[in-house]
Each structure stands twice: as structure tokens, then as C-alpha cells.
Structure 1
Amino acid sequence: MSDKGITTINPATEEKLSFYPYMTDHELTGAIEKCHKAFLEWKTKTVEERGEVLKAIGKKLKEHKKELSQLMTAEMGKLLSQSESEVDLCAGICDHTAQIAPKELADEKRELPNGGRGLITYSPIGVIYGIQPWNYPAYQVIRYAIANLAAGNGVLLKHAESVTGCGEKIREIFEEAGLPKNLFTTLVINHDQSDKVINNDLVRGVTLTGSPVAGEIIGEKAGKALKPMVLELGSNDAYLVLEDADLDVAVEACVKGRIYNNGETCIAAKRFVVVEAVYEEFKKGFVKAMKDIKHGDPTSDEFDMGPMARKDLRDDLHTQVKNSVTNGAKVLCGGEMPDGKGFYYPSTVLENVHPGQPGYDDELFGPVASLIKAKDAEDAMRIANDSRFGLGGGIFTKDEDKAFELASKHFDTGMVFINSFGLAQPNMPFGGVKRSGYGREHGGFGIKEFVNAKAIMRLEN
């Protein structure tokens, strides 16, 4: 073991939690080899046999819900109630994946043009390396790991340093549920060692959830090594409020969409594009609701938000707010760095937001909302799509059919919510376009991202 490593910190109290020494290069190579060896056995199991283990993992997640939730809140700062909901979602993903995997991975028979016999199989390819962020310490891991385990692959995890304890706890839960030892391995490593994982011949695929800059770096390294990838890279999602929207519904959903998970969600509502006919009325209700948000101890039911996950993240967010104001934005509420312990930041609304400001161009990964006025529905959609990103978005209108048509034909994103804000749904694809990345998870799509669609043929002579 190395004498260097990771120290986790409680963002609500700034107190040190635990220290995790880095693995040595020798230990890292051994972990990859052991994962590959476990994969060679695991891939021989039937999809149904794997599914039984996945369901057992779901049960164990529920059994360990209290301790895992408390650890997530301690390491990341999310409300304890939201940590508990996250564990429930993870357990649901295990059950759902076990249910759909036999159909998604079933062999397909095809007749060949010359009368020959054809068969398509979806074969596991090997060890998959996941680099995951801190904002959903359990869900981000479960999202890619369970799909790949269902497909028959082995899984390596490099979790964000600040939630290293969660990564270790998830491994323990997996093994307690009966997953073969070493098939899922948490790697406590640095960035240089991570590059070695990508280049290791036993590693056959790479998946990353992170920033576009991280996507560029990891994408280049994986591409050079000819490894398939899935990239989920965040966004600055636009939520459109049209003239016929129910404003009470819109305000409630938009506030939730901005402050949920302390505002640190890739698919959070971030830009609020409101047609001028209802702009002032929406603004009045939205700003009042954002002003009323209380931040404080995430283990207490008295508060609506906890702290941001790290000091540097809060500092970066505040710099984005200040730079937006310098370039013409106006602060309607919040925007002031609070005193005291903990990395708290108030719910904030910016107005007069336009291109050239971080509030318009960039992702604000914290509880800061950008309020933008549009002339009409067409202009609102133009503004929504005027983005380097394309992960999610939303539309508020009483004409639901119209909303679905707009979303289908015009919204340039991977996901759109109608008259609501929501997170991932296990039976719907999750992923984006443009600088929000590529590839899909959930909805049956994630199971096939890292498999070999193998063609087996007997041709007629």
C-alpha cells in the first residue's frame, strides 16, 4: 500500500472523515487481472443466473440503506432524504435490469438471403472501466455496473475521490449479495494510474460521467487505445415556459429542478426560458420560491438544500455568477458567499442573461438559475437549442400533444420532460448529444453498449 492517498471531507462541517491509501501499481495490475479472471467464469453463467445475483444486490442495497445513505450524505452533502431515495432507485435498477436482460440479450435468428442460417449473439467483451463522479455516489455506479454485470462483463470503478468511501461500501454490498469476488473492484488510484487502466489490454471498454473537458481527455486516451466508450458529460438544460403553461406547476417543478441534489445534477433545470407574455408573472413566483429555500444541515428535515460537495466547486460557481454579473446579468436573489462552516451556497436567480455570460453559455453546477425572456415559443426553442450541450430539457404547456411534438421534432437533446422535472427512469434511455456526450444507459440500451454483436452464419453453397 502507498503512504499517499485520499482524505474524504464532510462538506457540511469541513471535518475529515477517512483516509484511503492509493493502490500501488503492482496492486492495480493484480486487481485488473483478478477482475478478468472472474469475468471468464461469470460470462459462462446464463443471463437468468446473473439476474438472480442482481436481484440479490437490490435486496442488500435495501438492507444497507441506512448506512449507505448516511455515508453518501456525509461524503457529498446531499439531503439525507435524497440519499435514501437514491438507494431505492438503485435497488429498482437492479430488479428492472434482471427482468429485462433475458429479452435484451436473447439470441436472434435471421434467415440469410441465399437460404442459409444466421444467428446473432450478444456476447460480453470483458472488463469495463468506469470513471464516475461524486454527485450521485451510489446511482452513478449502479447505472453502469449493473448493466454490464447483466451483460456478463467484469467491472472496475474509479470513483470520485470525495466519495471513495461510498465506492468501497458498494463493493462490500455487491460481494455480500453473492457477486463473485473481484468481478466488481473499486480502484483507489490517481490520474496517472487511471491512464494505465485504460491502456491495459485486459480492459475492453471505458465509460465516464463527468465534465466535457474530462470527456475530451478520457475520450482521446480511450480512442487512441481503440476502446469503445460511453460519455455522459453534463449540460445547461433549458426549461421552456410557454404562454399557456400552468404557472403554479411550472414554478414548483422548475424550483425543484434547480435545487434538487443541492443543484448538482447533470440533468438539472438550469436555464429557464420564458415567453414574454408570462415572463413577469413566472419571475415573481419563481424568485419568491427560490428566496424561500433554506440551506443547512443535510441530515435535518428542516432544510431544503445541503452544502455543495467541495470548496473548489463552490468557488468556481461563485466566480461564474460574478462573471455573469460583470457581463450584464442581474442578481434577483442569492449570489452572496455565506459565512460559517460548510460549503453552502444560496439558491440564486440571475436575470438579463445572454450569450457571452457563464449563466448562458456554461453549466452552472450548483443552485443558480438563469432566467431568460423569449418572444414566443419559436424563439424559446431557438434559445434552448443555442447551446453546446444537449442532455435534457423541459417544456411547460397545457397542450401536452403540442409539447410532445416540439420535443420530438425540435428539441436537440437526449431527454425532455413535459410539465415536470424528473431524474432517470430505468426503462427510458439516458444520455445526450453534442458536448453532453454519446452512448446511452438505461432503457435496455446500456446493456448492449459493451457487448459483441456477433454474427454466426452457415451459407448455402
Structure 2
Amino acid sequence: MAGYQVLNPATGKVESEFPRASDAEVREAIDLAHHTYNSWRDTKLEERVAIIKRVAELYRERRGELVEIIAREMGKPVRQGAGEIGISADIFDYYADNAAEFLKEEELTVASGGRAVVRMAPTGVILGIMPWNYPYYQVARFAAPNLLLGNTIVLKHASNCPESAQAIAKIFDDAGLPAGAYVNIYASSSQVPSIIEDPRVQGVSLTGSEPAGRSVAEVAGRNLKKCVLELGGSDPFLVLSTEDVTAAAKIAVGGRMANSGQACNASKRVIVVDEYYDEFLQAYLERMKLFAPGDPLDGGTRFGPLSSAGAVDELVELVEDAVAKGANLLLGGNRIEPDEGDWAEGAWMEPTVLTDITPEMRIYREEAFGPVASIYRVADEVEAIRLANDSPFGLGSSIITNDEEQANRVADQIEAGMVYINSAGESEPDLPFGGVKASGIGRELGRFGMEEFANRKLVRWSN
């Protein structure tokens, strides 16, 4: 695809197109962001806070318009889109309400005498490369802390999200953000290296796939630029001890099927100790069968299309590979192909459950980005931990247990950036988000999100 376009995944129809930015337009965007940085960094914090608070208000005021855009762009049901708008607004409010505290200088103890402080200072223009699966939320958690810190932003959104990218830029403009503090560009992936290499760009934040993260990190490293990478995940969901197996299955399915399964921190690998396995599997299958596809613009729809026909192809290939190598397909596994009507060309996939998965299968190591769940049976806690950690990814994880000592013991051994006890992790503005291993570098949200692209500047007075 040469430019940006809205290709409605529910219908397979192109609804709008936007031309790709020229190299000259990309340079102009960086020029503008750099020029504005020199004044935005000196703008009083109270003024920056007031603008970001207004951004939060506008997200809520325009909720209806915003959710309809992403229902058409990437197939998100409007009821889920409304939740995304809500947390996005909450993120802007959170950083506006806490910026003064997060940016307060820290007094240091100096053994040799005198005085020293560390001040949180901005660094310059930061490039954001954002994904399609949470078009508003991902931008919010990157943009809010950096704008309040005093950095300016050049934002490249996913090529299938041009209208939401445009809507976000308009919200910032209408909230009173100076021109150049947040610049949306319809850049191509091939233009990204030159943006990172520009000496005026001081860092890059990417949320996306592992291959994209490796490419960005390579360019950033070669140019000594800071990067934050939130990449893929294959989060384990461990069922270790419970008095309510049905409730545990409900949590697990909810953690797998949010956003039609298209979330980096979805509960993709469900690991159940032998004692609960049979009952859990039956309860899990029954809940998965409740997900029926529906029009994303219908307020009652819980399960929408995948982002593209290509995404469906990739998932079907993963499932077929597993089945060919001995996996047991208990539910789904196929494209949903309506015989007629508007959905006939859409990107629809059945909710799918696989068991008896072995390391020879691709799905054992690769991320299944969609409504495909892998269920594993293990003998005990030790085997559950080993299997949970036997993955190239380390983003999130969940532990179902009614034993607090077990919860702490297992949490300490899980190789992940986040561990949730008796829940499937949901993002909150004040909790850090990020992973280890192939799941990325750095953290977003909480106070950590404001520190990643800050200059922790030492100021030292001698006796």
C-alpha cells in the first residue's frame, strides 16, 4: 500500500485514502517540531497541564465520533472503543494531575559536602511509531508524559489508522497545543530510519511487532538514540489453585478475547495444573463458544473482525501447522466466510482452542495475534513455571491462586514485566507497562513513563 487508507476489515472495502508524506514533508515536520521545542520546553508547567486537561475533556466529548472511526479502521466494536476512549482520557488526566510531583527536583545527599539536585528536563523531539490495535490509547500513553515534560512529538501512526491519527491531531490543536508540539505525519516505514537519524530527533518510542522493534533499535543504536520498545507477547495464564474453576475460566477467556484477541498482553497460553484441567477446559470452551461475530458499529457486538485478511491468513497458518504436527483442535480454526452481504469480503476468524501443543509447533514460540488460545496441562507448580518461562517473550502474565504465599513465590519466578494475581492484566494509568526479553525495552505509564525520555540533569553546588 503506497499511502494510508481505511480498509474496513468488516467488509473488505476501502473507505478513504490519504497520500503518503513526501521526504520534504517529513523534513518540514521535524523542522516544525524542533522549532516549537525551543518555546514549548520553556512554557510554564501550569499552562502545559491546562492544555492536557483540555485534551482529556475533548476525548470524552468526542467519544461517539472517535469510536466510529476505529470501528471502520480496524474493526473494534464500539462498546470496546468507548472503553479505549475512556482510558485514554484518564491517562491524559493522570499525567496532568501528577506532572508537578513527577517533575519535582530530587535533593541528593553529597558525602563530600555541598549540595546537589537532579532535575527532570526535556530532551527534544521524540518520534512515536504507533500500532493499529489501540489507536488512541497507545498514543495517549506516549504523548501525555512527553508533552508535559516539555518534549515535542512527531507521530507516525499505523498505515490503516489515518482517520484516527487525524482526529488525535485535531484534538491537540483544538485544546490549544502550539503548532509543532505534536505533528502527525503519514510517513512510510522506509522513511523511519532517516527520521531517527536526524540529529534533532532525540529518541523513538515504538509499539509494534518484534521485527519492527529490532529494525528501529538497530537504527537508534547506531545513532546513539534512546528507544522505548513495547513489542509482542505470548502471556501465560497459570491456573494453580482455586475454589471456583468456572470463574477462573471466565477471567482467562476475557483476557484472551479482548479486542478480538488482538492485544500484545492477551492471555495467549493457558497453563492449568492437572487437578483442575478437565473442569477448566470444559468451562473455557463453553465461554469461547459465546463469541459470535457482529457488526462493529452495533453497540451489542463483543467480537469483531481481525484487522485485515492477512492477519486471518497468518492465524490460520499457525493453527494448520499445529494440527499437522499433532495438536488437538477443539474449537474453531477457520476463517468465517459469510455467504453474502456486506461482510462477505471481511476479515473474520472463528474463536479457536488448541491443546496438546509441543515445541515443534510454530505456535509454541510465535505470538498468535487473534482469537486463538493454547491450553496446556501440567503436573504441578514447578512445571507450570517452567512452561510459562519457555518463551522468547516476557510481557505480562497471570496467576490464579487462593494461596498468597504461592502467589508471591510464583510471581518472583515468572520472567515477565508484569504479573497479575487472580486477574488478566488490564492497563491502568498509574501502573507501569512493559516487558523483558523479546517483548521490549523500557516502560510506559506511571511515573516511569515520564522518565524514559527525560534528561535527569545533575546540578551540583560546591562548598
Verify the 8 A CA contact 1:70 1:80 in the aligned structure 2: yes
Q: Please give the residue correspondences for 1:1-400 in structure 2 after superposition, counting only pairs within 5 Å.
A: 5-340=3-338, 341=344, 342-400=346-404
- Comparing 266-275 and 191-200, the one that deviates more: 191-200
Runs of 4+ residues deviating >6 angstroms: none
CA distance in 2, matches of 1:69, 1:44: 35
Cα-to-partner distance string for 1:74-132 (whole Å, 9 max, x where unaligned): 10101110101100101100111111111111112224222112121111000000111
Verify the 8 A CA contact 1:246 1:398 in the aligned structure 2: no
C-alpha displacement of 1:298: 1.4
- Comparing 26-35 and 112-121, the one that deviates more: 112-121
1:443 paired to 2:446: yes
Cα-to-partner distance string for 1:200-244 (whole Å, 9 max, x where unaligned): 111000011111111111100111111001011111000001143
C-alpha displacement of 1:361: 1.1
Tell me which amino acid in the other structure corresponds to 1:151: L
Aligned residues: 457
CA distance in 2, matches of 1:288, 1:343: 24
CA distance in 2, matches of 1:72, 1:254: 26
CA distance in 1, matches of 2:149, 2:401: 40
Verify the 8 A CA contact 2:210 2:232 in the aligned structure 1: yes
Tell me which amino acid in the other structure corresponds to 1:314: V
Corresponding position of 2:341: none
Corresponding position of 1:415: 418
Aligned pair in 2 of structure 1 residues 259, 17: CA closer, same or farther (>3 Å)? same
Counterpart selection for 2:430 from 422, 427, 430: 427
Verify the 8 A CA contact 1:245 1:396 in the aligned structure 2: no
Verify the 8 A CA contact 2:241 2:403 in the aligned structure 1: no
CA distance in 1, matches of 2:290, 2:56: 37
Verify the 8 A CA contact 1:324 1:358 in the aligned structure 2: yes
Corresponding position of 1:454: 457
C-alpha displacement of 1:4: 5.2
CA distance in 2, matches of 1:334, 1:299: 24
C-alpha displacement of 1:302: 4.1
Verify the 8 A CA contact 2:251 2:423 in the aligned structure 1: yes
Tell me which amino acid in the other structure corresponds to 2:363: G
Verify the 8 A CA contact 1:72 1:137 in the aligned structure 2: yes
Cα RMSD over matched residues? 1.3
Identity percentage over the alignment?
Answer: 39
C-alpha displacement of 1:355: 1.2
Verify the 8 A CA contact 2:357 2:376 in the aligned structure 1: yes
C-alpha displacement of 1:402: 2.7
CA distance in 1, matches of 2:391, 2:221: 25
Tell me which amino acid in the other structure corresponds to 2:447: G
TM-score by length of 1: 0.97
Helix, strand or coil for the counterpart of 1:453?
strand
Helix, strand or coil for the counterpart of 2:160?
helix
Helix, strand or coil for the counterpart of 1:270?
strand
Cα-to-partner distance string for 1:423-458 (whole Å, 9 max, x where unaligned): 211111100000001100011101010011111112
CA distance in 2, matches of 1:48, 1:401: 45
Tell me which amino acid in the other structure corresponds to 2:444: E
CA distance in 1, matches of 2:300, 2:50: 40
CA distance in 1, matches of 2:404, 2:158: 39
